[in-house]
Structure formats: C-alpha cells, structure tokens
Amino acid sequence: MKEIILAKYGEIALKGDNRNSFEDMLVKNIKRRLKKIGRFEYSRRQSTIYIEPLEDVDIDTAVKCLKSVFGIGAIQRCAVFEKNFDTVAQNAGEYLRPALSSAKTFKVEAKRSDKSFPLKSPDIQQKLGDVVLDNFPHLGVDVHNPEVTVRLEIRDNGAYLSAERIIGAGGLPVGSSGKALLMLSGGIDSPVAGYMMAKRGLVVDCIHYVSPPYTSDRARMKVEALCEKMTEFCGNTIFYCVPFTEIQEAIRDNCPEEYFTVIMRRLMVKIANKICDRYGYGGIITGESLAQVASQTLQALKCTNAAAEYPVFRPVIGMDKIEITEIARKIDTYETSILPYEDCCTVFSPKHPKTRPSLEEILKAESSFDFDKMVDEAIEKTEVKRFRYGEKTVFID
C-alpha cells in the first residue's frame, strides 16, 4: 500500500496574488528538512503539498520533522488509492488497523473535491463507516468526540485515506517575511521571542553580547546551545558574539549608576543597528516583557527605542512569565535557559535602577563619554558562527 504525507497550508491558504512565493518558500524549507531522511517527490495542489516517498523511508521520522516547519497547518499521512470506493473498502481494514484496533470510538469524515466521483460525501461517510464497523466490531461511533477520525478525501488525483492528522506548527514559512536579528541572552524570554518571530516568517539570526572575564565561557556556551536548539524551528542560524566588556566598563566609569542598564541596552541596540546595516537585517527582536524589570517599563522602552534605527519586535511584551515559560518548555529551550550562568546584564547592575528614566536624562548621562569608537571596535571584533539544523556541536550541562 502506498503511503504519502500531505502537508496542508495554514495561513498561506489566505494569501492572494503573492501566494506562489509563500508556497515556493515552504516547499524549499520542507525539502531541506527531509533531505536527510530520504528521497521524496513534491507536488502541490488544492492548498496542499504532496510529499511522496520515492524509496523506503521512515515516515514517522519524516512526520516528526515536519511538525516544526512553519507554514504547515496540518500534517496528514495517508494511503493513496485509485478513485474507486470498492478498492478503498478492500484495503481500509489493513491500513487502519494500527490506529483502530485499540481505539474505542471513531467517526468518518469524507470530503469530495472531485465532484465527478459518483458518491456524495454523506454517502461516503455512511458506507465507509459500515466498512470500519465490519472490520472493527468493537468500535462505537462518536460524532462529537471520537478517539480516531477516519478521513477519506476524494481529490483530483486519487482517494486519500487517513486516520492521523497532526496539527502543524502554523505561521508562515521561515524566510517569507525577510530576516531579523534576535538579541539572544541566556534567559528564558529571548529564545521564545525568536521562535515567535520565526513563526511570522522571519529568518532569525542571533546576536549575543559577552563581557569576559565578568561572564564565563560557559555562559557563552549556554547561549550557543540555545541557538542550536532554535534551529529546530528557525532553520540554519548565524550567531554574532560581540565583546562588550570595554563598553560596560566605560558605562560604569562614566555614567550615573541608576542609568546603567538602560544605557547598556541602548548600546546593545546601537551595535545591532550596525550589524543590521552590514548584513541586511530588517528588524531587531528582543525578549522584553512590559514591566518585568526596571529596564522594561514604558519609559525605559522609550529610551531603548530611541536608539533603534530598525523596527524592534517584542513578541512577548504582553505575556507573563508563566505563559513565556510554557512556550519555552514546548520548544525545549527552558532547561538550557535555567542553567545558572551569568549574563552580562547582571554585571555592574545598579542596586536601585531608575524605573522611569526620561530620554533627556539618559542622553545627558551618555554625553559624558563618546561611545561611538568603542561600538565600532566591538563590531570589528565580533565573532561569527553558523549553526545548522540537525547538527549537534555544543555540549553543556
């Protein structure tokens, strides 16, 4: 029996004239994901990508990989038959056995997009329901809350029978919205922010600021490990590691303590601006959440924004820590994020940060020192590393 995977569109199905480019991007991303698993043929029709194995492949693994590809609304593995109800009926028992033998209830859903098929959808449902009950007499029908939904779709090029539909990652294909730079710390919030913006179709590359010797190699490794984990959803990613010690020391030595954190954040953003200019990123992403800490109040965010020359995306701004943590667990970054290595944000952090700084105060506090040269030097000394989907290179405990 021939089994194939259908990847059904999520939001792409709502696109108009430019839909083709989204589809192209999605197919490209899927091909990259499945390359290591085997050879497949890809075609697309009716808001669906047909993924047909050309050799003996592990379909379970393929389905698992597809679950983290943005742009897919649902994944369905199906047996394909000629469009003849008797053929489907003859094979249904065997194909559905793994899904139905230990289930208690089921229902059948039929869809007939090929209107020349002689049976209408309600008739297909009725007849296929009978076939299922003949094969699995222990089952009960439950149309509201079935354990298994058996689906038969009569499409242009065949009859597709399935008992498994998995919700996809949703969103838009990575790359379809351009690329942005994620300010990635070692905390819980910023990897979640990156995940959320990749879901909106952005390629997400990461920038991280380190302050040795105040921050350790382990702290940096932890962030690299997060970067590596993010490739699961974001695909290949570039990691920019910026030396930040001198800038932080200059802030410490030249600016009033209560403004340290906001000034530091503004300098991080100024460096990010220049990396965006140089490499063509169209936006900056952060893991800031309103009022979580002193540097994330409305007034502090105004000061940070004033340093930005690109749109700043803060997808977790309206979420509380519990909600953010839930996503971090789902994307498997949480356990790495809570490893106890220091971030440069905590270096020289003031005892009493000003929670409502005005931009005028901040600009005045910064004016006692010319940071521009240091910003340029930090960029010149930035290390660049690439992380590829599916490759494990960072080991940390």
The residues binding ligand ATP (CB under 6 A) are: 183-185, 187-190, 207-209, 286-288, 292-293, 295, 343-345
Q: Give CA–CA dist 228/258, Å, rounded.
A: 35
Residues 252-271, interacting with Mg ion (CB under 5 A): none
188 binding partner (options Mg ion, ligand ATP, none; Cβ < 5 to 8 Å by kind)? ligand ATP
Q: What is the token pair recorded at 288?
A: 């800031």
Residues 336-355, interacting with Mg ion (CB under 5 A): 343
Nearer to Mg ion, 347 or 363 (CB): 347
Print the binding letters for residues 177-216 with Mg ion: x by CB under 5 A, - otherwise.
Answer: --------x-x-----------------------------
Residue, CB closest to ligand ATP? 187
Nearer to ligand ATP, 70 or 209 (CB): 209
**Going by DSSP bridges, is the β-strand pair 3-9/72-81 parallel, antiparallel, or unpaired?**
antiparallel
Nearer to ligand ATP, 70 or 260 (CB): 260
Minimum distance from residue 202 beta carbon to ligand ATP (Å)? 15
Q: Give CA–CA dist 109/128, Å, rounded.
A: 9
Nearer to ligand ATP, 48 or 337 (CB): 337
CB atoms within 10 A of CB 268: 26
Nearer to ligand ATP, 132 or 206 (CB): 206
366 binding partner (options Mg ion, ligand ATP, none; Cβ < 5 to 8 Å by kind)? none
Minimum distance from residue 236 beta carbon to ligand ATP (Å)? 20
Minimum distance from residue 169 beta carbon to ligand ATP (Å)? 21
Tell me the C-alpha to C-alpha distance, in Å, between residue 130 and each of 35, 138, 142, 233. 40, 13, 14, 41
260 binding partner (options ligand ATP, Mg ion, none; Cβ < 5 to 8 Å by kind)? none
209 binding partner (options ligand ATP, Mg ion, none; Cβ < 5 to 8 Å by kind)? ligand ATP
Nearer to ligand ATP, 320 or 377 (CB): 320
Minimum distance from residue 205 beta carbon to ligand ATP (Å)? 12
The answer to whether residue 162 forms part of the interface with Mg ion (CB under 5 A) is: no
- 256-266: b (≥16 Cβ within 10 Å) or e: ebbbbbbbbbb
Q: Give CA–CA dist 59/65, Å, rounded.
A: 10
Minimum distance from residue 185 beta carbon to Mg ion (Å)? 4
Nearer to Mg ion, 76 or 286 (CB): 286
Minimum distance from residue 215 beta carbon to Mg ion (Å)? 12
Residue, CB closest to Mg ion? 187
Rg over CA atoms, the chain: 26
Minimum distance from residue 296 beta carbon to ligand ATP (Å)? 6
Nearer to ligand ATP, 79 or 193 (CB): 193
Minimum distance from residue 254 beta carbon to Mg ion (Å)? 24
Nearer to ligand ATP, 12 or 181 (CB): 181
Q: Give CA–CA dist 299/354, Å, rounded.
A: 10
Minimum distance from residue 105 beta carbon to ligand ATP (Å)? 43
Q: What are the residues binding Mg ion (CB under 5 A)?
A: 185, 187, 343
